[in-house]
Structure formats: C-alpha cells, structure tokens
Structure 1
C-alpha cells in the first residue's frame, strides 16, 4: 500500500508532507519548501545544476522521485552556511568559490558546490584530476572550470588542516586607481553561493497561472486548421489564445519586423518553433496537457535547409520579400589585379555549423498585471528596452504601460536578446488579469530561440613568395533561419572581418544573409567573427604551410599597424595593438 505522506529532513529541519504523484525531489524543494537554490537546467539528469545530497550521496534531484526521500536526510546549498552570533559564516567551499572568482552567472553554482561538498566528504585530499572527474557531469556554461577547480582544492586544504583559506595570487595593476586595477569580489557572489540569488523561475506571485506554447513542429507549411475547443474545455485552463486574439501588430523583431507572435490560419509556418497557440492554466501540468489537445492541420511546403539552396533559382520563397535578407559587400582596391600580381594563390571553402548558446538557465518570463492597467514583465533579458518596445507593439499599447523588471540571468551569450516568452506571457496575463509564468524546458529552448549562424565561406587568397598578402576574396553564405533576428548585423560583421586583421591592398567580400526553414540565428559571442576568423585563419595556416613559413611570422608580416587602411577604408592612426 502506498503511503499518503512522506517525512524527510532537509537542512536539519524535519517535514511531513502529503505525497504528490510523479513529484521529483527538486520540485518538492523548490515549490513546497521554497528552497530555490536548487536549480533546474535540463530536467533530465544531464547538467547537474539540481545536485543535492541524500544521506551524504550526491543525487540529481530533477529526476529523483520525492517519495524515495522518505526517511532520508537531505542537504541543499542553503544548508551549508551557518549563522554565528547573527552573522552568516560561509562554509569553506562557499568562501573559496567567492574568493577564487568561481562564481559567474551563478546558475550552476549550487550544483557545483554540492558536488564539491560530496567529494570532500569522501575524499578530503583530492588531486586536480579527481576534482575534474567529480565535476564531469556538473556543467558550467560560463566556462569557469579553472577557478572552480582551484576553489575546491583551496577549500580542501582548509577543511583538512584548519588553516585559513589559501587565496588566489592575482597581481594588481602597476597603474591601479582607487577602483580600477584592483581585485574585487563579485557583489552578488555570496547570494549565489548560498542559494539566496533569485532568478526568474524562482519568483512566485499570488494567483499565478502557468503557460505553455503550442508549436507548429513542422518546418514549412500553411496552417489550414486550428481547433482549440478541447483545450479550452479542460478543467483548470484559464485562457487559450491564437493569432486572432492579438490586439496590436502581429510581428515583432529586433531590426526587421518579420517574426509573427502567433501564426494564424491561412498563414505560413516557417520553422518548427513557430507558435500557433498559447495556453494559461492553474498548473504547468494542466497547461502542457491542454497544448496536446490543440488540433492543427497543415499544407506542407518544400523545405529550404541551407543558405546556398535558399539563393538558388526556382526555390520556394519563405518571405514575401524573398529568401535574401541582405547582400553585404566590401570593396577595396582591384582584386583581379591583385591576383595577377600574386606569386601564389590558394582557394578553399569552409563550413561552420549552427551552435546553441546552451545557457544553463532556460528562458522564463512572468507577466504581472497591475491595478492601474500597466504590466510588469519579469525576465532575465539582454535588451530589456527592446523587450518593452516589442511587447508594446504587439499589445497596441504605449510603452509607458510596460515595465521590464530585469532579473539575474543564468547565462545569455547573445541568446537572450530576442523575444522568447515575454510577449506570450503578457498576452495571457492581460487576457486573464492574473500573473502568468512561461518557462521553457530544455527541448523548447533548443527548438525556439535563435542560434549561431551556420555559414559557408569561400576564401581565395593571393600572396607574394615572401608571404606578403596581395589580394583576398571571400564569399559568405549565412543561414539566418526563419526570421531575421540580428542576422543582418551579425553577417555584416562576419563580412567586414572575413579578410582577417591584415593589411591587404586588394579585397572583395560578398555575403548573402539568407532565410531558411531552420531555427532563427542571431547574436552569439563573437557576433559573426567567430565564423569568418575560423575561415581566414585556417587559410593563413594553409598559406604558411605552402610557403614553408612559420605561421606566426606570416601573421606578423601582414598584421594591421599604424598607418594601415582597413578593408572598409578606415585609416588606423593610433593604438592598433596587434604588433
């Protein structure tokens, strides 16, 4: 016979709670005990952010059944620090993470700390390799691993010997000022190591509803039928909205207003992540069930899967304006003359793949209607003012009716510049006059939000026998996906950097930023230069090999310097910095 209650001890406090079917330990800790230091990054035991100790053993609480915790002792990140004479005393591991700069966005830090805590309980004197092995399934997207490793080794020393915490050796600038040039601790580091740091999904509001999105899940089609009747009749559902319910403009976008908030019947679906309906319900589970009850029919269209195909003659046009977002050109000198003057010419085509930002914190937005008719939107966003203007456009409101309340961001890297759930949450909150939370799971995040541009880059390079570059010609195809996002800006930067940081008299660059039926591509660290730098620097290595020349010497010979003129015509008159 199944028990109706479970009793567990969490951070030295004993709780007896009713059993909830299918509840995970992470959900119990976060939702019922309000211990939100335990984070959920993937919800499928892959990232380690949810790590807690159960009877001194590290477990991934996002898949650990809450019922299995009956009679067990649980330790979360909130249970490590102690109050001594009304002053918080950090555990040595927490103190080490603060002092060694191991804390960046902070979303993974509770999992890192609890994994380290478990390691040092069973192995007080680990080697660096043992630390790395212990952390292999606890991911940090900010890439703070060296600082994390050093922090754990420092904490191990203190726990083992009782000595003060060994501090990192960081040399201050010889030109240090009162603030600049000196070592500083992150202002929010203590909150992040104790579990007190609040991210958007950690927030709760009275009478809050939970939202889900019905995605098209086909890459290219016309939506011919949409039936929401079953979803609206499901008990616990408060609202189901479609494109017909949009009060203002349908499209939004950072630069080009081409991204529909919701796809209506008779309109074109351009990628699998396009939204066709949104639901708000009393629980996330009910909202998810309602989404599955929404029936949709499509007239499938040919799929454009890459930018070269998109530019070819006779292809289906994804947008009314065509498949070409922008043709970007850079011209300097006479490339034909440059190749004639070259002693050696090389040509190669490079490819780079689509890349997801893989921030540890999935996208989350909460819209809260206020009594005076305004709307507050809580979100970890990289461009909050653009959020406000895009929400206002779709709602048909003056921007003054909307307040974006910025939250801590569990990683962004460019991937939280575009609209995710902000508009959908606002639409539902306005329709229900209740707070609405829209949280993506990892699958939805991978499907819906913009990525790094996949590219095809052809580089033709001409040089003299001594290695001096004479001419560079590049042709880039950038896959900006279904909607523009920041594709024009990203691929412009890729183009202007595609001949490298070199003094070349003759340059010709052409870039075709193309729409396809892939997920949109937008901002990502490097902003287009990652792709073009890979191509041109690979070609420089190939040229060095062909000339039997040291690749560093080849770059020094050709690097921009004071007096150089760049590919775009800028004369560099000071502080070039390459040599």
Structure 2
C-alpha cells in the first residue's frame, strides 16, 4: 500500500491504496464516485473518460499514482452546484441520453473538446468521439447536443431541438418526452448494478469450461476452500433445487456436474465468493477439474447430419431443436408461373450485442436488514420476472420468497434476457448469509452471453417480369448454440419473414434450428 494524494472535483483526498490501482478503480471503489463507468478496461470504449489537469484520459488504464498531486474532474464535478453544465442540459434537451451508461464518457470527452475548440463542426466532433462509444443513440443527437452546448459556451444561445413537425401537437403524443431520471444520467448519480455496495459484501467469480465440448470427470475444490478469505466454493452438488434453467426450454445447467458435459467455453463449473475480487480470482486457479474432451460440432448443417455427435444425449430429435415450417399455395405451380427464377445461398454472421455495461448481479440474503426481508437479487435484466422464476427453481424456494430488483441497464439489445450471474449470486448469498456481487469482465461477457444467430439461408424466388413474386422456397439453418435460449422464437421469426413484406401466393419454407457446440444464440434487437 502507498499513499496517494489528489484533488477530485475540488476536494483533496489522501488514500492508502495498492500501487496497481487504476484511477477508475480509485474513483469508483475508493471514493464511490460511480459516475465514471468501466466498460472494457482496455481503453477501447472511452466511457471511463475523466479530466486530469484538464486533459481527458481513459481512467480504466490510467495508473492512479500518475494522478499524484493533480486535479481530477469527473462527471460529478462538471455542474456548478445545481446548475447543469451546458453539455448536460443539451444532452437532455436533444435526446442524446438513452441507457445513460456511456453518457458520462461522452460528456467529459465533449467538455474537453469545446473548451479547446468552442466552435466545433461535425468532423471535429466525430474525431473527438472516435474512441468514445455509444450503442444506443446513433450519435446524431449526440453531435447536435455538443454543437448546441458549444453555441451556449460562445454566448450565442441554444440550437433548436429537432422535434417532429405535426399539425396538432398533443401533450405527449407527437413530441419527445424526457427519459425518466434523465438528470441522474447526465450527472453521474444514476446507479447501475455495479454501483451498489453493501456492508460486508463479498465478491464472486465463475470457473468456466476449458473446452467447447467435454465430459466433466472430477472437480476438487479443497484447495480453493482452504484459501484464507474464501467464504464459499460451490459446485453442482450444492444446488438445493433443480440444476437447470432456460427461457423457453429447460436445457442449460446452472453448474455443470461431474458426469455431465460442458457444451461451450462459457459453461459454468464452479463459483467462488471471497473477501476481495483478487482472492476470488486466486481461488478459481486452485480448483482442479479433469475433463474428457469430446468431438466439436461447430456447424449447424453438420449438426443435422447423422454422423454428428449429440450435444444433448437422450434428447428426442437429437441435435435438432426445432423444425419450423411455412406452407401455402402450390410451390410447383408458383415456379411454373414465374418468368424469372433466382436461387442463392446467403450466410449471416453471429453478432455481439456490445452493450457497454458488463453483466453484474448482487445477491442479498433475506433478513440482511429491514429493506431486505426476502432473498433479493439486484440485476440489470430485461426480464426480471423470468429471472425470479429461474432463481426459485434452482434454489427450491417459492417465487414469493425472492425479490428481483431491476436496476438501470447499461445497454441490453436482447443480450440481457438470459440468466447470467443471477442464480449464482443468490446461491452464494444463501450459503454465506452475506451480500455477494458478481461482475463479469468484458472478456468473460464476450465468452459467455448469447448473441445474434448465425444463419445459412438458401432461397429460391420466382417472379413475373412486372415484378410480382409468384413463389418462394427457402431452407434456413439457424445456429442455436449449445443451449436453446430464444432460438425457437428467433428462428420462427426468421422463417415466417422469409417471404419479406410481400404477398407471395406460393411458399414452402423450412427452418432447422440446431444445437452445435457454440455459444448460445438468443434475442437481438427485437429479433432484427
């Protein structure tokens, strides 16, 4: 531990901290200034931006001791008392705030820009923001907000807000409405899951599979349990209820058991709760797991072949999750009536949601204090009631004994519908009788969570020379991944939309949603 002296938002601080601490960690975890967010921990997303002596820096990689004796400004220090900074006002007025997780980084980057260049054009703003990401707004409103704030700084007043033109404006319909609690999102007061801290809180980590397909032969947690500061190490045998979860099909183990299989690299084998995140990480390295590697099924077409190894043994249908069909008209007649027939095969890639807030969940045991009379899970989830149902099943508790508190979500886009750490923190909180936080790293998030489906689509289309479609025959293969997630629903949407928005009198469409050994694929932006 070494002594750090710095001035943050005009207030002097003297801290004894580890020399490895980053400035973002000091701000968030030592000073509780949680407006500074951490999205990547690699200086790639820019949402951790703060000013050091007026210069914008990526605080997630900025060594804390480089700020020794220097002035640091965070989003919490940008306003003058209750008077918002022109950028904060402009972001609200121009609709540049949605989930709000990236907003502090955008505003702090923009503040440095307009201080140096009070008359930026679109290109200046784009260059300034090139390493500061936003996944919600599309940047058009952000650029306009920055230009408006710069105009105010120059003394020329605000730019007009781009409201829709309507003949009879109404109170709510036909005009933009402010985001709820939007001031909190531009000032750093908004609380996302990792911003919550409870007295006596433990920190959890997950041991994941070393193989995309293998049988678990042995798990030995004795060395991890013996490590001082480790409060719990759990495996499948410690689950009091059903070791299973899933949104549509119950096929995803909470923890992979000895004798069972791991089916992708994100599968959880054991979970740990310890006094510090560092101790939890050390404990993972002490858990011994023996595997029998098995053949990998990486392709949905191969998964459908009789030679493919089974992902889920004993399941009726083998690797076929669902065969989805659309039939109407007479397909042969439709092609006979066509003047032109075109047949092509298309492939769409898997796509990462890239939400800027990594997954985080906190479990608080029942009776922890007067506010937590039930087992409570804090999580930025898109479907908290489904979370409660799945937690109850795994813990063998009635649903009414569990409360899921949905925190603000730092971007989801369908990627925060499946269970991540919710069941794990609930289990650990029950066992330790203490609050437990599980925060994923960006790397763990990328490895674990479901993404947009990769597809192979062969489509044959018949048309008349006047442009009218006469027939569509299509075959789709959807990579559902190791577990079903929302593959049933997503691939049903793909199948029923295969003819597009057109009136096609004759159609024959077959979709095969398959189980390969890939990460599960789930919802993405309304199944777009």
- Same fold? TM cut 0.5: yes
SS at match of 2:525: coil
Measure, in 1, the Cα distance between the counterparts of 2:488 and 2:511: 10
**Residues 128-527 of structure 1 mapped to structure 2, 5 A cutoff:** 128-160=122-154, 162-319=155-312, 320-321=314-315, 322-371=318-367, 374-527=374-527
Q: What is the CA–CA distance in structure 2 between the aligned matches of 1:275 and 1:40, rounded to whole Å?
A: 24
Using the alignment, how far apart are the partners of 2:48 and 2:227 within structure 1? Answer: 32
Q: Given that residues 103 and 144 in structure 1 are in contact (C-alpha distance below 8 angstroms), is that contact kept between their aligned partners in structure 2?
A: no
Q: Contact between 2:94 and 2:162, CA under 8 Å: does it hold in 1?
A: no
2:27 counterpart of 1:29: yes
Per the TM alignment, residue 373 of structure 1 is displaced from its structure 2 partner at its CA by: 6.7
What's the counterpart of residue 59 of structure 2? 61
Say how many residue pairs are matched: 521
Q: Is the 8 A contact 1:217 1:274 kept in 2?
A: no
| Partner in structure 2 of residue 80 of structure 1 | 78
Q: Distance in 1 between matches of 2:159 and 2:208?
A: 52
For residues 126 and 176 of structure 1, what CA distance do their matches in structure 2 show? 33
Deviations 1:168-213 (A, max 9, x none): 1313533433322233222322111100111000000010000000
Task: Compute the displacement of 1:107 (Å).
Answer: 0.2
Give distance in 2, aligned partners of 1:375 and 1:450: 27
Q: State the distance in 1 between where 2:325 and 2:176 align.
A: 44
CA contact (8 A) 2:353 2:415 kept: yes
1:8 is aligned to 6
The verdict on how the C-alpha distance between 1:123 and 1:177 changes in structure 2, with shifts beyond 3 A counting, is closer
Query: Residue by residue, what CA displacement relative to the aligned partner does 1:469-497 show, whole Å, maximum 9, x if unpaired?
Result: 11100100000100000100110010000
C-alpha distance in 2, partners of 1:105/1:505? 43
For 1:377 and 1:407, locate their aligned partners in 2 and report how far apart those are by CA, in whole Å: 10
Distance in structure 1 (CA, Å) of the matches to 2:358 and 2:473: 40
Question: Structure 1, residues 247-297: CA drift from partner, whole Å, max 9, x if none?
Answer: 000111001000000001111111000000000000111111111111111
SS of structure 2 residue aligned to 1:252: coil
Which residue pairs with 1:90 in the alignment? 84
Query: Does the Cα contact within 8 Å between 2:39 and 2:358 map onto a contact in 1?
Result: yes
In structure 1, list runs of 5 or more residues that go unmatched: 531-579
Query: By how many angstroms is 1:382 displaced?
Result: 0.6
Match for residue 124 of structure 1 among 110, 118, 121: 118
Cα displacement (A) at 1:16: 1.1
After superposition, the Cα gap between the structure-2 partners of 1:526 and 1:184, relative to the gap in structure 1 and judged at 3 Å, is: closer
Q: Secondary structure at the match of 1:82?
A: coil
TM-score scaled by length of structure 2: 0.97
Instruction: Say if 1:19 and 1:67, in contact at 8 Å, map to a contact too.
Output: no
Does the 8 A contact of 2:163 with 2:175 survive in 1? no
Verify the 8 A CA contact 2:462 2:471 in the aligned structure 1.
yes
CA distance in 2, matches of 1:255, 1:401: 23
Aligned twin of 1:20: 18
- Provide the secondary structure at the position in 1 that maps to 2:353: coil
**SS class of match (2:105):** helix
User: C-alpha separation between the residues in 1 aligned to 2:397 and 2:178?
Assistant: 42
- Residues 371-421 of structure 1: CA deviation (Å, up to 9, x unaligned): 187201101111111000000000001001100111000001011111000
Could you tell me how far apart the structure 1 residues matched to 2:73 and 2:363 are?
33
Checking the alignment, whether the CA contact within 8 Å between 2:164 and 2:174 is kept in structure 1 is no
Query: How well do the aligned residues superpose, as a CA RMSD in angstroms?
Result: 1.2
Gaps of 5+ in 2: none
Structure 1 segments of 4 or more deviating over 6 A? none
Structure 1 residue 50 corresponds to structure 2 residue 44: no
1:41-74 Cα shifts (integer Å, max 9, x gaps): 0111110010000111111001111111101110
The question of whether the paired residues in 2 share the 8 Å contact of 1:100 and 1:147 is answered with: yes
1:577 equivalent in structure 2: none
